[in-house]
Amino acid sequence: INDILDLSKLEAGAMGARIAPGSVRSFVRDTFETCEPLLKDKSVSLHSAVHGELDEVHTDWGIVRQITMNLVSNAVKFTHKGRVELSASVGIELRVSVRDTGVGIASERVHEIFEPFR
């Protein structure tokens, strides 16, 4: 319910960014600790990679965490065996990516991933 409320606030322009400093390495580690229970009874392993010399960045960590958790949990959900990798790099910008060895998305349905509630 909170996610739906947040989405409504974002769409209405009523939710401002909550920028704060934070550690990229801590963020990746915390995300993994939160996701580890999702791996129960699965032949899937989590891997991480943090690139860049900077560790502390200023961003809205709540939004970054919510997006990243959605990506990682979906990757684990649709990967039956193999690996899920969370990468973060810091240069001019913070870049977070999730890769997996799951089934993937059919090319004719890729446009759906940015639709609400998909």
Do the Cβ atoms of 21 and 54 come closer than 8 Å? Answer: no
Tens of pLDDT, residues 12-63: 777 677 889 999 999 999 998 999 999 988 999 999 999 988 789 999 998 8
Q: Which two tokens stand for residue 26?
A: 């801590």
Which residue reads 């959900």 in tokens? 77
Do the Cβ atoms of 57 and 90 come closer than 8 Å? Answer: yes
pLDDT (mean) for 59-85: 91
Strands of 43-51's sheet in order across? 43-51, 81-90, 94-100
